[in-house]
Amino acid sequence: MNIDELEKILKELWIKETSYFPEEWSGENPAWGQCAVSALVVNDYFGGEIIWAYATLPDGRKLSHYFNLIDGKEVDLTRSQYPEGTVIPAGVKKSMDFSTTRGSILSNENTQKRYKLLRNKVKMAVDKN
C-alpha cells in the first residue's frame, strides 16, 4: 500500500464518530475533525513524525491541526477540511505547551476511542484488498 491508497481508504471511512467535531461533521466535508486520528493511522503504516500546528482560518480562528512528516516530506491528508485561505505553518514536533508524540495524542480518551475505531476500519479495508 502507498500513501495515495491509504488516503483513498481514509476518505471512504471517515464518519462522524471518528471526527473531533461529530455534531458539526457532514459528508460534504468528511475530513472535518479527522486530523489527529488520521495522522496516527498514517504513522502506523508509514512511520515518520506527527506534526502539530495551529491552522489559522480566514476568519482568524485558530484550530489545532495534526499532519505527518515522512522522510522529510509533509503529508497532510486532512488539509481539505479547511476553507480556502487557511494558513497552516510548517508546524512543530514539540512545543512548550503541546507535545505531539503519539502518547500525548492518545492520552485523550476521546481521541483514543476515535483512533481505535478508525484504525480498525482501515485494517479491515486493507485486509480485504
Please give the share of the chain, as a percent, with pLDDT higher than 90: 79
Q: Which residue has the cell 476500519?
A: 121
Neighbours of 17 (CB within 10 A): 12
Interatomic CA distance for residues 72 and 84, integer angstroms: 25
pLDDT at position 119 is: 98
pLDDT at position 100 is: 56
Interatomic CA distance for residues 32 and 10, integer angstroms: 12
Q: Kindly report, residue by residue over 70-123, the tens digit of the pLDDT.
A: 999 999 999 999 999 999 988 665 554 555 567 888 889 999 999 999 999 999
pLDDT at position 108 is: 92
Q: Kindly report, residue by residue over 26-43, the tens digit of the pLDDT.
A: 999 999 999 999 999 999
